[in-house]
Structure 1
Amino acid sequence: MTTPMEMTTLTEAECLALLSTEPVGRLVFTENALPAIRPVNFVLDGRDVVIRTTADSWARRVADTVVAFEVDHIVPADHSGWSVVLLGTATVLTDIDALVRVTDFRHRPWAPGPRDRYLLIRTGEISGRRLSLAPA
């Protein structure tokens, strides 16, 4: 017997609350005319995403382009979970007040080496879905 499931659309407030619970997301962009995906840790700044990276990385090529950013949480035991997708424009963050606000030792980059470039994804659209057990 299969357990009945239901899919619900999340509000923007629910999407942002869920984004703040996960440390890693996936940045989706175009590289050499092909889709590319990079798992990254991030900081949520209001409704925008900030990623620390290196100056000579793929982030340089992503600046000033439209990107997608996806975060999810899956529970394999009961096939439930959620997914949030942001669409926005990536820019290099240089505003000193914003840099001070988003620089937090608790959110340091996971990748090794210096990470002195900050990539800001200015969110244009945000959407999300939750798959959960249907009420009895």
Structure 2
Amino acid sequence: MYPNDGFRELGRQECLQLMAKMPVGRIVFTRQALPAVLPVNFSLDGDGAILLRTSAASELVRAVDGAVVAFEADDVDAARHSGWSVVVTGSATVVTDPAEYQRLARTGPLSWAPAPQEVLIRIEPELVTGRELIGGRSLYGVDLAS
């Protein structure tokens, strides 16, 4: 980033704290050798790992288990032209350890589209980046920060 470009870099902890407040994000993965993006509800585990709950039979499970994925969450105020965006990149795995599954099932997200057989997907936060748009402008070019 260049100084005074209207953006502020966010640190890892700040990124995770902002993400923890959001109920929905987007998982980016590969489907048939092409990028795919799906909106999903999620939560964060205590160590910052992203948790998703989905149908065991879903295409998402087959596509991401053992793969490197990206996950994005943001909050935007369109009227003020401000907001933030966080991207987490890491390995996604289906939680298979029974004790870990039971722990995460109690504290993790509930699926907004419940299925008879659900699994938990865990994304390890290997790379966490974010930025905040500061000093947004109105539609007429008036600086709202003043």
**TM value normalised by structure 1:** 0.88
Counterparts of 1:106 and 1:13, CA distance in 2: 20
> Quick check: which one's strand share is greater?
1
**Larger RCO, structures 1/2 (Cα 8 Å, 6+ apart):** 1
**From 65, 72, 78, the counterpart of 2:80:** 78
- Gapped runs of 5+ residues in structure 2? 137-144
Could you report, residue by residue, the CA deviation over 1:46-86 in whole angstroms, capped at 9, with x for unpaired residues?
21111001111121221001100000000011000000000
1:8 maps to: 8
Larger radius of gyration between Structure 1 and Structure 2: 2
For 2:43, the aligned partner's letter is V
Structure-2-length-normalised TM-score: 0.82
DSSP-derived class of the 2:14 partner = helix
Superposed structure 1 runs of 4+ greater than 6 Å apart: none
> SS of the counterpart of 1:126?
strand
Superposition CA RMSD, Å:
2.1
Distance 1:73 1:24 in 2: 10
TM superposition shift of 1:106: 8.3
Q: Residue 11 and residue 105 in structure 1: after superposition, are their counterparts in 2 closer, same or farther (change >3 A)?
A: closer
The alignment partner of 1:117 has SS state of strand
One-letter amino acid of the structure 2 residue matched with residue 44 of structure 1: L
Q: What's the counterpart of residue 33 of structure 1?
A: 33
Contact 1:109 1:115 in 2 (8 A): no
CA deviations over 1:21-45 (Å, ceiling 9, x no partner) = 1000100001001110010001101
2:59 equivalent to 1:66 = no
- For residue 101 of structure 1, the aligned residue among 100, 103, 110 is 103
Q: Residues of 2 paired with 1:106 and 1:52: CA distance?
A: 8
Q: Structure 1, unaligned stretches of length 5 or more?
A: none
- Describe the shift of the 1:66–1:73 C-alpha distance in structure 2 as closer, same or farther (beyond 3 A): same
Question: How far 1:101 moved relative to its partner?
Answer: 3.0
Cα deviation, residue 112, structure 1: 3.8
Identity of matched residues, %: 43
Q: May I ask how many residue pairs the two structures share in their alignment?
A: 133
Pick closer, same or farther for the CA change 1:70–1:91 going to 2, 3 Å. same
Within 2, Cα distance between the matches of 1:54 and 1:94? 14
